[in-house]
Structure formats: C-alpha cells, structure tokens
Amino acid sequence: MAFEYPLTFFYTRDLAQTARFYEDVLGLPLVRDQGTCRIYRVGESGYVGFCERESAPKQPQGVILTFVTEDVDSWHQRLHAAGVVFEKPPTDNPTYGLYHCFFRDPNGYLLEIQRFYEPLA
C-alpha cells in the first residue's frame, strides 16, 4: 500500500486574505474551493489547504511550510518585488546541506523556500 499525495491543512482567520496571498503572490493553482476551505497544488503531487476558523492561532508556532525549488534567488526577487518582507534572505546552511530563505504568510505561518545541495530522490 502507498499514499497517493500529501495534503496539509492550516487554519486561518481570514480566508480571503490568505487566498490572495497564495493565489496572487505565490501563484499556487487553486484545485478545490470548498467554501470555508481552499486547496492549492504545490508541485506535481503535493497540496496545501487553508480552512477559515475563528479558533485559528493568532501567532502560529512550531510549523514551517517549505517549498523546494532549484531557483531560490528568483523566488526571493519575485516575492520581494511583490512586497513580501523576509525574515532571512537566501543563505547557505551547510549543517543541513541546503540554501534557503524565510518569510511569513498573512496568518503568521513561517514559510521557507529552499534548495537541497543534493536532491532527496
């Protein structure tokens, strides 16, 4: 038995603002609009979803949503031009064998764009 794909959900207090960020700024394709939840495709077979809930954390902690790409610098430039404020610019991290940068989405979730020195598979 094998899983077909990952789908991770996050809570948001403002689905409209979250949708604008993930659709317009990051350019993720919306694959399902469930009214109070929206699901986006990430890469060929990964998905991330956001559900509007009053109980969504005001200051999310302990989660990093990572997007893996070969072109960290181009993403950094594109997002910076769109007004995204970075907590950490593109930097080498030899401890984990990667190159990455960090920023937050409108909900406060920590997002990372990274490239592994050596691909995972």
What would the pLDDT profile of 53-86 be if each residue is shown by its tens digit?
999 999 999 999 999 999 999 999 999 999 999 9
Tell whether 30 and 45 lie within a shared domain: yes
Tell whether 33 and 63 lie within a shared domain: no
- Residue-range definition of the domain harbouring residue 29: 1-55
Tell whether 12 and 68 lie within a shared domain: no
Q: What is the pLDDT of residue 98?
A: 98
Tell whether 119 and 80 lie within a shared domain: yes
Tell whether 6 and 41 lie within a shared domain: yes
Tell whether 82 and 110 lie within a shared domain: yes
Residue 121 binned pLDDT confidence (cut-offs 50, 70, 90): confident
Tell whether 69 and 114 lie within a shared domain: yes
Question: What's the CATH number where 90 sits?
Answer: 3.30.720.110
Domain count, the chain: 2
Residues 8-50 pLDDT 10s: 999 999 999 999 999 999 999 999 999 999 999 999 999 999 9
- pLDDT beyond 90 at 89: yes
Instruction: Identify the CA nearest to 38 among candidates 60, 65, 17, 68.
Output: 17
Indicate the residue type of 68: V
